[in-house]
Structure 1
Amino acid sequence: MWRRALTLSQSKASQSWRVIATRGATSGSGKYSPSTSASTSAAAAVDSLLLRSLKDHYLEVSKLNPPPKVSPPSPFTIIKGALDSNGPVLRRTYGNEEINIYVMRLVNIIRGEGYDLEDDDEINQLFLHVDVSKPGQESSLHFLCGLYPDAIGIHSVSVRPKLETLADAVADAVPSRYNGPVFEDRHEGIKDALHTFLQERGVNESLFPFLQAWLYVKDHRNLLRWFKSVGTFINERKPVDA
Protein backbone atom coordinates (compact mmCIF):
# COMPACT_ATOMS: atom_id res chain seq x y z
CA MET A 1 0.00 0.00 0.00
CA TRP A 2 2.83 2.41 0.87
CA ARG A 3 4.47 1.70 -2.47
CA ARG A 4 1.24 2.29 -4.42
CA ALA A 5 0.57 5.56 -2.58
CA LEU A 6 4.07 6.79 -3.30
CA THR A 7 3.68 5.89 -6.96
CA LEU A 8 0.34 7.74 -7.18
CA SER A 9 1.88 10.86 -5.67
CA GLN A 10 4.79 10.72 -8.12
CA SER A 11 2.31 10.33 -10.99
CA LYS A 12 0.28 13.36 -9.84
CA ALA A 13 3.41 15.41 -9.51
CA SER A 14 4.44 14.51 -13.07
CA GLN A 15 1.03 15.57 -14.37
CA SER A 16 1.36 18.94 -12.61
CA TRP A 17 4.76 19.59 -14.17
CA ARG A 18 3.33 18.82 -17.64
CA VAL A 19 0.46 21.26 -17.08
CA ILE A 20 2.87 23.98 -15.97
CA ALA A 21 5.16 23.33 -18.93
CA THR A 22 2.21 23.45 -21.34
CA ARG A 23 0.95 26.74 -19.93
CA GLY A 24 4.40 28.23 -20.12
CA ALA A 25 4.80 27.15 -23.74
CA THR A 26 1.38 28.53 -24.64
CA SER A 27 2.04 31.91 -23.06
CA GLY A 28 5.44 32.06 -24.72
CA SER A 29 4.02 31.44 -28.19
CA GLY A 30 1.47 34.24 -27.95
CA LYS A 31 1.74 37.84 -29.00
CA TYR A 32 5.03 39.41 -28.04
CA SER A 33 4.85 42.11 -25.42
CA PRO A 34 7.78 44.42 -24.73
CA SER A 35 6.51 45.16 -21.25
CA THR A 36 9.01 44.03 -18.64
CA SER A 37 6.46 44.35 -15.85
CA ALA A 38 3.98 42.10 -17.69
CA SER A 39 6.70 39.52 -18.28
CA THR A 40 7.75 39.65 -14.64
CA SER A 41 4.14 39.29 -13.53
CA ALA A 42 3.65 36.23 -15.74
CA ALA A 43 6.85 34.65 -14.40
CA ALA A 44 5.74 35.30 -10.82
CA ALA A 45 2.37 33.65 -11.53
CA VAL A 46 4.06 30.55 -12.95
CA ASP A 47 6.43 30.43 -9.96
CA SER A 48 3.50 30.72 -7.57
CA LEU A 49 1.65 27.90 -9.30
CA LEU A 50 4.73 25.69 -9.21
CA LEU A 51 5.47 26.42 -5.57
CA ARG A 52 1.89 25.67 -4.58
CA SER A 53 1.99 22.37 -6.45
CA LEU A 54 5.33 21.44 -4.89
CA LYS A 55 4.00 22.18 -1.41
CA ASP A 56 0.80 20.18 -1.97
CA HIS A 57 2.69 17.13 -3.19
CA TYR A 58 5.32 17.45 -0.46
CA LEU A 59 2.59 17.39 2.19
CA GLU A 60 0.89 14.45 0.49
CA VAL A 61 4.05 12.37 0.34
CA SER A 62 5.14 13.33 3.87
CA LYS A 63 1.91 11.81 5.25
CA LEU A 64 2.59 8.39 3.73
CA ASN A 65 3.27 5.64 6.24
CA PRO A 66 6.55 3.79 5.65
CA PRO A 67 6.59 0.02 5.13
CA PRO A 68 6.91 -2.20 8.21
CA LYS A 69 10.37 -2.02 9.72
CA VAL A 70 12.58 -4.92 8.67
CA SER A 71 15.92 -5.74 10.26
CA PRO A 72 18.81 -7.13 8.23
CA PRO A 73 19.73 -10.75 8.86
CA SER A 74 22.43 -11.21 11.49
CA PRO A 75 25.35 -10.58 11.54
CA PHE A 76 24.92 -7.80 8.95
CA THR A 77 24.56 -4.31 10.39
CA ILE A 78 23.19 -1.14 8.79
CA ILE A 79 25.86 1.43 8.04
CA LYS A 80 25.14 4.75 9.75
CA GLY A 81 24.03 7.43 7.30
CA ALA A 82 23.47 4.98 4.45
CA LEU A 83 20.07 6.48 3.57
CA ASP A 84 21.69 9.84 2.86
CA SER A 85 24.74 8.61 0.99
CA ASN A 86 25.72 6.56 -2.04
CA GLY A 87 27.93 4.25 -0.03
CA PRO A 88 27.34 0.70 1.20
CA VAL A 89 24.13 -0.23 3.00
CA LEU A 90 25.16 -3.29 5.01
CA ARG A 91 28.44 -4.50 6.46
CA ARG A 92 29.75 -7.54 8.28
CA THR A 93 33.01 -9.27 9.04
CA TYR A 94 33.79 -12.86 8.18
CA GLY A 95 37.08 -13.99 9.65
CA ASN A 96 39.58 -11.37 8.48
CA GLU A 97 37.29 -10.22 5.65
CA GLU A 98 35.11 -7.13 5.53
CA ILE A 99 31.99 -7.52 3.41
CA ASN A 100 30.09 -4.46 2.17
CA ILE A 101 26.74 -4.60 0.38
CA TYR A 102 25.64 -1.94 -2.12
CA VAL A 103 22.17 -2.07 -3.66
CA MET A 104 19.92 -0.46 -6.25
CA ARG A 105 17.02 -1.69 -8.33
CA LEU A 106 18.03 -3.79 -11.29
CA VAL A 107 15.49 -1.97 -13.46
CA ASN A 108 17.37 1.31 -12.86
CA ILE A 109 20.35 -0.14 -14.69
CA ILE A 110 18.28 -1.55 -17.56
CA ARG A 111 15.72 1.22 -18.13
CA GLY A 112 16.95 4.22 -16.18
CA GLU A 113 14.99 6.01 -13.49
CA GLY A 114 11.60 5.84 -15.20
CA TYR A 115 10.51 2.48 -13.87
CA ASP A 116 6.97 1.50 -12.94
CA LEU A 117 6.64 0.77 -9.24
CA GLU A 118 3.36 -1.03 -9.92
CA ASP A 119 5.15 -3.82 -11.77
CA ASP A 120 6.04 -6.38 -9.11
CA ASP A 121 8.25 -8.29 -11.55
CA GLU A 122 10.44 -5.20 -11.84
CA ILE A 123 10.38 -4.03 -8.24
CA ASN A 124 11.35 -7.52 -7.09
CA GLN A 125 14.70 -7.37 -8.88
CA LEU A 126 17.58 -5.76 -7.02
CA PHE A 127 21.06 -5.07 -8.34
CA LEU A 128 23.55 -6.13 -5.67
CA HIS A 129 27.24 -5.28 -5.41
CA VAL A 130 29.22 -7.34 -2.91
CA ASP A 131 32.67 -6.06 -2.00
CA VAL A 132 34.88 -8.55 -0.12
CA SER A 133 38.13 -7.03 1.14
CA LYS A 134 41.02 -8.05 3.39
CA PRO A 135 43.27 -5.87 5.54
CA GLY A 136 46.46 -4.74 3.85
CA GLN A 137 45.17 -5.45 0.33
CA GLU A 138 44.36 -2.61 -2.05
CA SER A 139 42.03 -4.74 -4.21
CA SER A 140 38.88 -6.59 -3.27
CA LEU A 141 36.78 -9.39 -4.69
CA HIS A 142 33.79 -7.80 -6.36
CA PHE A 143 30.55 -9.68 -7.12
CA LEU A 144 27.76 -8.23 -9.29
CA CYS A 145 24.55 -10.07 -8.47
CA GLY A 146 20.83 -10.08 -9.17
CA LEU A 147 18.87 -10.46 -5.92
CA TYR A 148 15.30 -11.77 -5.90
CA PRO A 149 12.83 -12.74 -3.14
CA ASP A 150 13.74 -16.42 -3.51
CA ALA A 151 17.17 -16.49 -5.18
CA ILE A 152 20.44 -14.75 -5.90
CA GLY A 153 22.29 -14.95 -9.20
CA ILE A 154 25.90 -13.98 -9.91
CA HIS A 155 26.50 -11.92 -13.06
CA SER A 156 30.25 -11.42 -12.75
CA VAL A 157 33.19 -11.76 -10.40
CA SER A 158 36.30 -9.60 -10.59
CA VAL A 159 39.25 -8.33 -8.57
CA ARG A 160 39.04 -4.55 -8.43
CA PRO A 161 40.05 -1.59 -6.25
CA LYS A 162 37.87 -1.47 -3.16
CA LEU A 163 34.53 0.24 -3.76
CA GLU A 164 33.83 3.51 -1.98
CA THR A 165 30.42 4.58 -3.36
CA LEU A 166 27.55 3.19 -5.39
CA ALA A 167 28.80 5.31 -8.29
CA ASP A 168 31.96 3.20 -8.32
CA ALA A 169 29.85 0.07 -8.41
CA VAL A 170 27.68 1.34 -11.26
CA ALA A 171 30.79 2.31 -13.21
CA ASP A 172 32.01 -1.24 -12.79
CA ALA A 173 28.78 -2.49 -14.37
CA VAL A 174 30.16 -1.17 -17.67
CA PRO A 175 33.86 -1.92 -17.15
CA SER A 176 36.60 -0.22 -19.13
CA ARG A 177 38.95 -3.12 -18.49
CA TYR A 178 38.76 -6.89 -18.26
CA ASN A 179 36.08 -7.89 -15.78
CA GLY A 180 36.76 -11.60 -15.73
CA PRO A 181 35.17 -14.34 -17.85
CA VAL A 182 31.46 -14.39 -18.64
CA PHE A 183 30.06 -16.08 -15.55
CA GLU A 184 27.45 -18.16 -17.35
CA ASP A 185 30.16 -19.64 -19.60
CA ARG A 186 32.19 -20.98 -16.68
CA HIS A 187 32.34 -24.59 -15.59
CA GLU A 188 29.46 -25.60 -13.31
CA GLY A 189 31.92 -26.50 -10.57
CA ILE A 190 33.34 -22.96 -10.52
CA LYS A 191 29.89 -21.38 -10.52
CA ASP A 192 28.68 -23.61 -7.70
CA ALA A 193 31.82 -22.87 -5.66
CA LEU A 194 31.37 -19.10 -6.04
CA HIS A 195 27.72 -19.31 -5.05
CA THR A 196 28.77 -21.33 -1.99
CA PHE A 197 31.41 -18.66 -1.23
CA LEU A 198 28.65 -16.03 -0.98
CA GLN A 199 26.25 -18.31 0.88
CA GLU A 200 28.89 -18.97 3.55
CA ARG A 201 29.14 -15.23 4.09
CA GLY A 202 25.38 -14.79 4.43
CA VAL A 203 24.92 -13.17 1.02
CA ASN A 204 21.70 -14.78 -0.16
CA GLU A 205 17.98 -14.18 -0.68
CA SER A 206 17.49 -13.56 3.07
CA LEU A 207 18.80 -10.03 2.42
CA PHE A 208 15.94 -9.23 0.06
CA PRO A 209 13.16 -8.17 2.52
CA PHE A 210 15.37 -5.66 4.28
CA LEU A 211 16.98 -4.22 1.14
CA GLN A 212 13.63 -3.85 -0.61
CA ALA A 213 12.11 -1.99 2.36
CA TRP A 214 15.27 0.11 2.67
CA LEU A 215 15.01 1.21 -0.95
CA TYR A 216 11.36 2.21 -0.46
CA VAL A 217 12.33 4.43 2.46
CA LYS A 218 15.24 5.91 0.50
CA ASP A 219 12.91 6.69 -2.43
CA HIS A 220 10.51 8.41 -0.03
CA ARG A 221 13.26 10.56 1.48
CA ASN A 222 14.74 11.40 -1.92
CA LEU A 223 11.34 12.48 -3.24
CA LEU A 224 10.74 14.77 -0.24
CA ARG A 225 14.24 16.19 -0.63
CA TRP A 226 13.57 16.80 -4.34
CA PHE A 227 10.35 18.73 -3.63
CA LYS A 228 12.18 20.91 -1.09
CA SER A 229 15.25 21.58 -3.25
CA VAL A 230 13.20 22.55 -6.33
CA GLY A 231 10.95 24.75 -4.19
CA THR A 232 13.95 26.44 -2.59
CA PHE A 233 15.50 27.13 -5.98
CA ILE A 234 12.28 28.64 -7.38
CA ASN A 235 11.60 30.67 -4.25
CA GLU A 236 15.10 32.18 -4.17
CA ARG A 237 15.22 33.10 -7.86
CA LYS A 238 16.00 36.78 -8.29
CA PRO A 239 14.44 38.83 -11.09
CA VAL A 240 16.73 39.66 -13.98
CA ASP A 241 17.43 43.36 -14.36
CA ALA A 242 16.05 44.95 -17.52
Structure 2
Amino acid sequence: MLRKAIAVCAQNAPWRLIASRCSTSVSSAVDTILLRSLKEHYQEVAKMTLPPKVSPPSPFKIVTGALEGEGPVLKRVYWDEEISISVMRLAHIVGGGDEDDDGINPLFVHVDVSKPSQKDSLHFLCGLYPDALGIHSVSMRPKLENQGFLVVPSKYNGPVFQDLDERMRNSFHSYIEERGINESLFPFLQTWLYVKENRNLMHWFRTVGTFITEQNLDKGALYLKCSSWLRKMQKSL
Protein backbone atom coordinates (compact mmCIF):
# COMPACT_ATOMS: atom_id res chain seq x y z
CA MET A 1 0.00 0.00 0.00
CA LEU A 2 2.80 2.40 0.89
CA ARG A 3 4.81 1.52 -2.24
CA LYS A 4 1.74 2.16 -4.40
CA ALA A 5 1.30 5.59 -2.84
CA ILE A 6 4.92 6.47 -3.59
CA ALA A 7 4.62 5.23 -7.21
CA VAL A 8 1.49 7.30 -7.84
CA CYS A 9 3.23 10.39 -6.50
CA ALA A 10 6.25 9.88 -8.70
CA GLN A 11 4.14 9.47 -11.86
CA ASN A 12 1.72 12.37 -11.44
CA ALA A 13 3.48 15.16 -9.51
CA PRO A 14 5.77 17.88 -10.93
CA TRP A 15 9.39 17.32 -9.90
CA ARG A 16 9.35 20.21 -7.47
CA LEU A 17 6.44 18.68 -5.54
CA ILE A 18 7.34 14.99 -5.77
CA ALA A 19 9.26 14.80 -2.48
CA SER A 20 6.70 16.83 -0.57
CA ARG A 21 3.62 15.03 -1.93
CA CYS A 22 5.10 11.54 -1.58
CA SER A 23 6.15 12.23 1.98
CA THR A 24 2.67 13.54 2.79
CA SER A 25 0.91 10.61 1.09
CA VAL A 26 3.03 7.95 2.80
CA SER A 27 2.62 9.64 6.18
CA SER A 28 -1.15 9.93 5.65
CA ALA A 29 -1.38 6.26 4.70
CA VAL A 30 0.48 5.19 7.85
CA ASP A 31 -1.65 7.47 10.01
CA THR A 32 -4.85 6.15 8.43
CA ILE A 33 -3.89 2.54 9.17
CA LEU A 34 -3.05 3.38 12.78
CA LEU A 35 -6.24 5.42 13.27
CA ARG A 36 -8.34 2.56 11.90
CA SER A 37 -6.66 0.14 14.32
CA LEU A 38 -7.17 2.48 17.28
CA LYS A 39 -10.83 2.91 16.38
CA GLU A 40 -11.40 -0.85 16.08
CA HIS A 41 -9.78 -1.56 19.45
CA TYR A 42 -11.68 1.32 21.07
CA GLN A 43 -14.95 -0.14 19.84
CA GLU A 44 -14.01 -3.61 21.12
CA VAL A 45 -13.26 -2.26 24.60
CA ALA A 46 -16.45 -0.15 24.56
CA LYS A 47 -18.50 -3.31 23.89
CA MET A 48 -17.06 -5.19 26.86
CA THR A 49 -19.62 -6.12 29.47
CA LEU A 50 -18.75 -4.53 32.81
CA PRO A 51 -19.21 -6.60 35.98
CA PRO A 52 -22.30 -6.00 38.16
CA LYS A 53 -22.05 -3.08 40.54
CA VAL A 54 -20.57 -3.97 43.93
CA SER A 55 -20.86 -1.75 47.00
CA PRO A 56 -17.94 -1.36 49.43
CA PRO A 57 -18.34 -2.88 52.90
CA SER A 58 -19.80 -0.48 55.45
CA PRO A 59 -18.77 2.03 56.70
CA PHE A 60 -16.34 2.70 53.82
CA LYS A 61 -17.42 5.27 51.25
CA ILE A 62 -16.20 5.72 47.68
CA VAL A 63 -14.06 8.82 47.18
CA THR A 64 -15.67 11.24 44.72
CA GLY A 65 -13.80 11.29 41.40
CA ALA A 66 -11.67 8.25 42.30
CA LEU A 67 -12.17 6.65 38.87
CA GLU A 68 -10.61 9.68 37.15
CA GLY A 69 -7.74 10.13 39.62
CA GLU A 70 -4.80 8.20 41.03
CA GLY A 71 -5.50 8.71 44.72
CA PRO A 72 -7.55 6.91 47.38
CA VAL A 73 -10.57 4.82 46.39
CA LEU A 74 -12.24 4.35 49.77
CA LYS A 75 -12.35 6.33 53.01
CA ARG A 76 -13.88 5.93 56.44
CA VAL A 77 -13.62 7.51 59.88
CA TYR A 78 -12.59 5.44 62.88
CA TRP A 79 -12.88 7.51 66.08
CA ASP A 80 -10.53 10.45 65.37
CA GLU A 81 -8.73 8.65 62.56
CA GLU A 82 -9.27 8.86 58.81
CA ILE A 83 -8.65 5.59 56.95
CA SER A 84 -7.85 5.84 53.23
CA ILE A 85 -7.48 2.90 50.85
CA SER A 86 -5.81 2.93 47.44
CA VAL A 87 -5.38 -0.08 45.16
CA MET A 88 -3.69 -1.46 42.05
CA ARG A 89 -2.97 -4.92 40.72
CA LEU A 90 0.02 -6.62 42.29
CA ALA A 91 1.07 -7.75 38.80
CA HIS A 92 1.58 -4.07 37.84
CA ILE A 93 4.13 -3.73 40.65
CA VAL A 94 6.17 -6.91 40.23
CA GLY A 95 5.59 -7.30 36.46
CA GLY A 96 4.05 -10.18 34.54
CA GLY A 97 0.89 -12.07 35.37
CA ASP A 98 1.21 -12.89 39.06
CA GLU A 99 -1.84 -15.10 39.43
CA ASP A 100 -2.34 -17.81 42.02
CA ASP A 101 -3.37 -21.41 41.27
CA ASP A 102 -7.03 -20.38 40.92
CA GLY A 103 -6.27 -17.66 38.35
CA ILE A 104 -6.88 -14.86 40.86
CA ASN A 105 -4.78 -11.76 40.37
CA PRO A 106 -3.97 -10.40 43.86
CA LEU A 107 -4.37 -6.71 44.62
CA PHE A 108 -1.81 -4.31 46.02
CA VAL A 109 -3.52 -2.23 48.71
CA HIS A 110 -2.23 0.95 50.36
CA VAL A 111 -3.83 1.70 53.73
CA ASP A 112 -3.26 5.15 55.18
CA VAL A 113 -4.24 5.88 58.81
CA SER A 114 -4.05 9.56 59.74
CA LYS A 115 -4.89 11.67 62.81
CA PRO A 116 -5.64 15.42 62.91
CA SER A 117 -2.88 16.12 65.44
CA GLN A 118 -0.17 14.25 63.48
CA LYS A 119 1.71 15.51 60.41
CA ASP A 120 2.56 11.96 59.35
CA SER A 121 0.30 8.97 58.85
CA LEU A 122 0.73 5.25 59.46
CA HIS A 123 1.04 3.55 56.09
CA PHE A 124 0.48 -0.15 55.35
CA LEU A 125 1.31 -1.89 52.07
CA CYS A 126 -0.75 -5.07 51.80
CA GLY A 127 -1.44 -7.92 49.42
CA LEU A 128 -5.18 -8.62 49.18
CA TYR A 129 -6.74 -11.93 48.11
CA PRO A 130 -10.39 -13.09 48.11
CA ASP A 131 -9.80 -14.98 51.35
CA ALA A 132 -6.82 -13.27 52.99
CA LEU A 133 -4.84 -10.07 53.49
CA GLY A 134 -1.10 -9.96 54.16
CA ILE A 135 0.98 -6.99 55.28
CA HIS A 136 4.17 -6.31 53.28
CA SER A 137 5.41 -3.25 55.15
CA VAL A 138 4.52 -0.63 57.76
CA SER A 139 5.94 2.89 57.66
CA MET A 140 5.37 6.50 58.67
CA ARG A 141 4.74 8.80 55.72
CA PRO A 142 3.51 12.35 55.07
CA LYS A 143 -0.27 12.69 55.03
CA LEU A 144 -1.84 12.04 51.62
CA GLU A 145 -3.73 15.33 51.31
CA ASN A 146 -3.92 15.98 47.54
CA GLN A 147 -1.06 13.71 46.59
CA GLY A 148 -1.35 10.31 44.97
CA PHE A 149 -0.80 7.22 47.05
CA LEU A 150 2.54 6.27 45.52
CA VAL A 151 4.61 8.66 47.62
CA VAL A 152 8.28 7.72 47.77
CA PRO A 153 9.44 7.81 51.42
CA SER A 154 12.08 10.46 52.11
CA LYS A 155 13.28 8.92 55.37
CA TYR A 156 13.75 5.56 57.08
CA ASN A 157 10.94 3.28 55.94
CA GLY A 158 10.95 0.93 58.91
CA PRO A 159 12.18 -2.67 59.30
CA VAL A 160 11.30 -5.48 56.92
CA PHE A 161 7.91 -6.64 58.14
CA GLN A 162 8.81 -10.33 58.04
CA ASP A 163 11.81 -9.62 60.28
CA LEU A 164 9.49 -8.53 63.11
CA ASP A 165 8.63 -11.17 65.68
CA GLU A 166 5.38 -13.06 65.22
CA ARG A 167 3.64 -11.36 68.12
CA MET A 168 4.21 -7.89 66.67
CA ARG A 169 3.17 -9.01 63.17
CA ASN A 170 -0.06 -10.44 64.57
CA SER A 171 -0.69 -7.23 66.49
CA PHE A 172 -0.36 -5.13 63.30
CA HIS A 173 -2.80 -7.45 61.54
CA SER A 174 -5.27 -7.05 64.42
CA TYR A 175 -4.78 -3.26 64.25
CA ILE A 176 -5.89 -2.96 60.62
CA GLU A 177 -8.58 -5.63 60.94
CA GLU A 178 -10.11 -3.57 63.75
CA ARG A 179 -10.38 -0.74 61.22
CA GLY A 180 -12.13 -2.91 58.63
CA ILE A 181 -9.11 -3.76 56.49
CA ASN A 182 -9.63 -7.39 55.53
CA GLU A 183 -10.62 -9.73 52.67
CA SER A 184 -14.18 -8.32 52.61
CA LEU A 185 -12.75 -5.43 50.56
CA PHE A 186 -11.69 -7.70 47.70
CA PRO A 187 -14.99 -7.96 45.73
CA PHE A 188 -15.47 -4.20 45.55
CA LEU A 189 -11.83 -3.32 44.82
CA GLN A 190 -11.58 -6.04 42.15
CA THR A 191 -14.67 -4.73 40.37
CA TRP A 192 -13.61 -1.10 40.78
CA LEU A 193 -10.21 -1.82 39.22
CA TYR A 194 -11.80 -3.58 36.25
CA VAL A 195 -14.01 -0.56 35.54
CA LYS A 196 -11.11 1.87 35.97
CA GLU A 197 -8.82 -0.12 33.68
CA ASN A 198 -11.59 -0.28 31.07
CA ARG A 199 -12.02 3.51 31.21
CA ASN A 200 -8.27 4.13 31.11
CA LEU A 201 -7.88 1.95 28.02
CA MET A 202 -10.73 3.68 26.19
CA HIS A 203 -9.30 7.07 27.15
CA TRP A 204 -5.87 6.03 25.84
CA PHE A 205 -7.21 4.92 22.45
CA ARG A 206 -9.24 8.14 22.18
CA THR A 207 -6.45 10.57 23.15
CA VAL A 208 -3.84 8.90 20.93
CA GLY A 209 -6.30 8.99 18.03
CA THR A 210 -7.05 12.67 18.66
CA PHE A 211 -3.35 13.49 18.71
CA ILE A 212 -2.72 11.76 15.38
CA THR A 213 -5.79 13.39 13.79
CA GLU A 214 -4.62 16.85 14.85
CA GLN A 215 -1.20 16.08 13.40
CA ASN A 216 -2.89 15.19 10.10
CA LEU A 217 -4.71 18.53 10.06
CA ASP A 218 -1.44 20.36 10.70
CA LYS A 219 0.29 18.44 7.89
CA GLY A 220 -2.56 19.24 5.50
CA ALA A 221 -2.43 22.95 6.28
CA LEU A 222 1.36 22.97 5.86
CA TYR A 223 1.08 21.15 2.52
CA LEU A 224 -1.44 23.68 1.18
CA LYS A 225 0.82 26.55 2.21
CA CYS A 226 3.83 24.93 0.53
CA SER A 227 1.87 24.20 -2.65
CA SER A 228 0.64 27.80 -2.84
CA TRP A 229 4.16 29.11 -2.33
CA LEU A 230 5.55 26.82 -5.06
CA ARG A 231 2.88 27.90 -7.55
CA LYS A 232 3.77 31.53 -6.94
CA MET A 233 7.43 30.72 -7.46
CA GLN A 234 6.67 28.93 -10.76
CA LYS A 235 4.72 31.93 -12.08
CA SER A 236 7.55 34.31 -11.25
CA LEU A 237 10.14 32.23 -13.14
Return closer, same or farther for 1:164/1:126 CA change in 2, 3 Å cut-off: farther
Distance 2:100 2:42 in 1: 25
- Residues 126 and 148 in structure 1, CA contact (< 8 A), matched pair in contact too: yes
- Residues 138 and 162 in structure 1, CA contact (< 8 A), matched pair in contact too: yes
**Aligned pairs for 1:1-242 within 5 A:** 35-111=19-95, 115-116=96-97, 119=99, 123-164=104-145, 167=148, 169-172=149-152, 175-237=153-215, 238-239=218-219
Distance 2:171 2:138 in 1: 12
**What does residue 14 of structure 1 align with?**
none
Distance 2:122 2:76 in 1: 15
Q: List alignment gaps of at least 5 residues for structure 1.
A: 1-22, 28-32
Give TM-score scaled by structure 1 length: 0.79
Instruction: Specify the SS of the correspondent of 1:203.
Output: coil
Q: Which runs of 4+ in 1 moved over 6 A?
A: none
Return closer, same or farther for 1:222/1:166 CA change in 2, 3 Å cut-off: farther
Return closer, same or farther for 1:214/1:120 CA change in 2, 3 Å cut-off: farther
- Residues 87 and 164 in structure 1, CA contact (< 8 A), matched pair in contact too: no
Larger CA Rg, structure 1 vs 2: 2
Deviation at 1:136, TM superposition (A): 2.7
- Residues 79 and 89 in structure 1, CA contact (< 8 A), matched pair in contact too: yes
Aligned amino acid, residue 179 of structure 1? N
Aligned amino acid, residue 69 of structure 1? K
Aligned amino acid, residue 73 of structure 1? P
Give the percent of matched residue pairs that are identical in Structure 1 and Structure 2.
59
Distance 2:140 2:76 in 1: 19
Distance 2:201 2:122 in 1: 34
**What does residue 7 of structure 1 align with?**
none
Distance 1:61 1:38 in 2: 35
Deviation at 1:177, TM superposition (A): 2.8
Give TM-score scaled by structure 2 length: 0.80
Deviation at 1:165, TM superposition (A): 6.2
Distance 2:163 2:66 in 1: 35
Equivalent residue pairs, number: 207
Return closer, same or farther for 1:158/1:176 CA change in 2, 3 Å cut-off: same
Distance 2:165 2:116 in 1: 30
Distance 2:127 2:65 in 1: 24
Worse-matched range after superposition: 56-65 or 187-196: 56-65
- Residues 124 and 149 in structure 1, CA contact (< 8 A), matched pair in contact too: no
Return closer, same or farther for 1:135/1:166 CA change in 2, 3 Å cut-off: closer
- Residues 102 and 166 in structure 1, CA contact (< 8 A), matched pair in contact too: no
Return closer, same or farther for 1:156/1:120 CA change in 2, 3 Å cut-off: closer
Instruction: Specify the SS of the correspondent of 1:170.
Output: coil
- Residues 129 and 145 in structure 1, CA contact (< 8 A), matched pair in contact too: yes
Aligned amino acid, residue 92 of structure 1? R
